[in-house]
Amino acid sequence: MINHAILKPAITSTVAKLNELFGAAPAVAVVLGSGWAGAVSLVQNAKHLSYTELPAFPQPKVEGHVNEVVVGTIGAQRVVMLRGRAHTYESGDCTGMAGALRSLKAWGVQVLLQTNASGSLRSHMPPGSLMLISDHINAPQRSPLVGEPGSERFVDMSCAYDLELRQHAKKTAQAQNLKLGEGVYCWALGPQFETPAEIRMFAAWGADAVGMSTVPETILARHAGLRVMGLALMTNMAAGLSAEALTHALTLQQAQLSGERAASFLGAVVAGLAELPSLQAGA
C-alpha cells in the first residue's frame, strides 16, 4: 500500500530535479525491459541521471537493469527512457513504480511505452518474435491501487493499451517489413517460472505471452492518466512448450541475441510518434 505522506513530497522533489536538469517534459516515456536496452544508443543529445538522484524512483536490483533516466531525442521526438523497473517479486509490493510514473505524469509526460521480455505461449511467436500487447490478464489479481482514496481508483481498464498507439506500432512494423504479433500478456508474480499446468491454464484463458512485469505499471499509468503502449520480446517458449529448462540467464541470453532488432523497431516507433496529431503539442 502506498504511503502518500512519504510519496507526495518525494514526487514534488523528483519533478523539480527533472525540470532542473532536463527542462520541459518529453511527451513520451519508455520503460526499457530486458532485451530493449539497445534503444538508448539511438537517443541523440542524451542526458543521463541515476535513479538515486530521484527520490520517488525505485532502486531495482535485477541483473540487466542499469537504473537511470535518459532524456534526449529520437528523430523529432523527445523521449525519456527508464532503464530499470521495480518488480513485484523483489519485495512483494506491486506499487514499486508508483512514484516514478506519477512523477512522469506530474512532469508533463503523456505516453508510457512499456517493453518487456516474455515467454511465448504460441508456436507462431517463437523466441525472437515481437508482440504488441493488446490487453492483459492480471493472474495474481493484485492491484497497486489498493488503499487509494476517492472514486479515481476505479480505473476503466477496458482499453488499457491505447488503440491509436497500437495502430501506429502496426503501421511502423509494416513500413519496416517486420513481423509484429499482437496478443494478450499475462502477468505472473514470479520470481519462479510458471509450471506447465499454469501455462496451459493461461493459454486457455486466452493469454499469448507471460511475464513478471508490466501489468502493475499499466494500472498505475492509467490511474495517473497516461496513455499506454506495450511491446513484448519473446525470449523463450513458456514452460512445457519446449524441452529447454527455463533460467534467468537463458532469458537474458535470448534477449541479447534479439535486442538489436527490438531496439531498432522501438526507435522507429518512438520517432514516428512525433507525427501523431494527438502528441504534437507535447513533442
Q: Which residues are catalytic?
A: 34, 65, 87, 89-90, 117, 212-213, 236, 248
Find out whether 69 and 80 touch, Cβ atoms under 8 Å: yes
Buried b (16+ CB within 10 A) or exposed e, 205-240: eebbbbbbbbbbbbbbbbbbebbbbbbbbbbbbbbe
Report strand pairing: 68-74 vs 130-138.
Answer: unpaired
Q: Are strands 227-237 and 111-120 parallel, antiparallel or unpaired?
A: parallel
Q: Which residues, other chains included, contact 109 with Cβ-Cβ below 8 Å and sequence gap of 6+?
A: 25, 26, 27, 28, 29, 80, 226
- What is d(CA 42, CA 221) in angstroms, rounded to the nearest whole number? 25
The strand ranges marked E within 121-156 are: 130-138
d(CA 197, CA 136): 19
Classify residue 64 by burial, with Cβ atoms within 10 Å: 0-12, 13-18, 19+. middle
Residue of 217, 208, 188 whose CA lies nearest to 84: 217
